[in-house]
Structure 1
């Protein structure tokens, strides 16, 4: 076989692999859609299936519910939560946080820094210089942190192929990521506003009791996070001091 014959074989093989991957991702998204439709007491008003078909997200605005969707080896897993359990939303570009919204109250206000970035802070710092100077981008992800010590992070991919910052692929991915980041920011704001109204309605005696109970609960959750390895001993000490100050 001559040179051009081999070139043709390689091109055809590459196209075949690309088509097979596209079909696999499409099937994964379809499976997530079907599983979501079967979920009781949830009617999605907005939903997104990640670019790679591994994760997704849906919102029921009337019921004020959020569903985190994961597609793994054992099938599709759905985790319904209330909007009050959403602690933060971040957009990552090649591992660097470009924008972030977090709860201003509850456990989220005290833990969000360590919980969302503590495990990947070194990676983000190492990538930040390269990302700023590069005209190309490989990944765009949205990270949602929720009030769940067993599985606090939920990442949704919007782009996983290299593209230029002024290219249509990157711009489209960022537009969609910003849209969902904005939606989560609205939910976070609603939860913060409700907390503020409840605090305003409390009598001093009630507030004192609730604060004591809340503090004990948050310290217990901090200890649990440390025991599970989510927080290091140093991070635990820092967050504990913030709660007690």
Structure 2
């Protein structure tokens, strides 16, 4: 169909074609009123195809993480693609592996990094460029208990196994930062929130994002504690 071809063609070319048709129809209105309807038809087609193109683009972007994992023969039990589509994380519990993927822009292929559970040194949640909680191989269990009391009872759930929580009313950025035993690439970051507009911390959006990042942080915290037991 013509509409499908318009949706899948280059965005700039599509806008040029339909907007040109719109302008031609606009000037022809002065010749015959029937072009008035055609003018709005081209305008509606421009808006519709742009919306559908954006939806299709987003679907393809979201599938890019699965494609990268498949390409690298990584079977994920769970995975997450960052809100800016530039980084991702996946886990295979049977193989004791975590995959970190990153790229500079959405047109690039993902760089694939495979990390063994035993090589993870630290996991941290960074909010607005400040570390609000972290767990490391040397984290003390007592630190988690104290952190939970200071955070008002729910700190043990929110803060993970150790660290502190600093309250702010709004958030621009939430990042999961992993430190690994690799001198070449010792740190990997996955942005769960990276916004130009501050998100209220009492909003459903923030709670959903924090729930996602905290789940991954707690999962890696458990991995760190298990590694600690194996080494003692």
Aligning the two structures, in what range does the TM-score lie when normalised by the shorter sequence?
Answer: 0.5 to 0.7
With over 3 angstroms needed to count, the CA separation of the structure-2 counterparts of 1:37 and 1:195, relative to structure 1, is same
Query: Which runs of structure 2 are paired with 1:73-88 in the superposition (5 Å)?
Result: 74-88=108-122
Match of 2:67 in 1: 34
RMSD value, Cα: 2.6
**Is the Cα contact below 8 Å between 1:137 and 1:164 reproduced in 2?**
yes
**Is the Cα contact below 8 Å between 1:87 and 1:144 reproduced in 2?**
yes
Match of 1:170 in 2: 206
Match of 1:235 in 2: none
Aligned-partner Cα distance in 1 for 2:187–2:92 = 20
Aligned-partner Cα distance in 1 for 2:129–2:172 = 10
Aligned-partner Cα distance in 2 for 1:48–1:140 = 14
**Is the Cα contact below 8 Å between 1:25 and 1:53 reproduced in 2?**
no
Structure 1 segments unaligned to the other structure (5+ residues):
1-12, 106-130, 197-245
Match of 1:181 in 2: 217
Aligned-partner Cα distance in 2 for 1:72–1:137 = 23
Aligned-partner Cα distance in 1 for 2:226–2:71 = 28
Match of 2:194 in 1: 160
**Is the Cα contact below 8 Å between 1:88 and 1:100 reproduced in 2?**
yes
What's the offset of the Cα at 1:24? Answer: 5.3
With over 3 angstroms needed to count, the CA separation of the structure-2 counterparts of 1:145 and 1:58, relative to structure 1, is same
Aligned-partner Cα distance in 1 for 2:59–2:115 = 26
Match of 1:55 in 2: 87
User: Which segment is superposed worse, 172-181 or 185-194?
Assistant: 185-194
TM-score, normalised by the number of residues in structure 2: 0.60
Higher helix share: 1
The 3-state SS of whatever aligns with 2:103 is strand
Aligned-partner Cα distance in 1 for 2:116–2:171 = 33
What's the offset of the Cα at 1:154? Answer: 1.0
| CA deviation vs aligned residue, 1:37-88 (integer Å, no higher than 9, x gap) | 2323x32111111111111111100111111111235421111121011111
TM-score, normalised by the number of residues in structure 1: 0.57
Query: Which runs of structure 2 are paired with 1:14-25 in the superposition (5 Å)?
Result: 20=54
Structure 2 segments unaligned to the other structure (5+ residues):
1-46, 140-165
Q: Which has the larger radius of gyration?
A: 2
Aligned-partner Cα distance in 1 for 2:125–2:75 = 26
The 3-state SS of whatever aligns with 2:101 is strand
| CA deviation vs aligned residue, 1:214-242 (integer Å, no higher than 9, x gap) | xxxxxxxxxxxxxxxxxxxxxxxxxxxxx
Aligned-partner Cα distance in 1 for 2:104–2:194 = 18
Name segments (4+ residues, structure 1) moved above 4 Å.
Answer: 22-26
What's the offset of the Cα at 1:29? Answer: 3.1
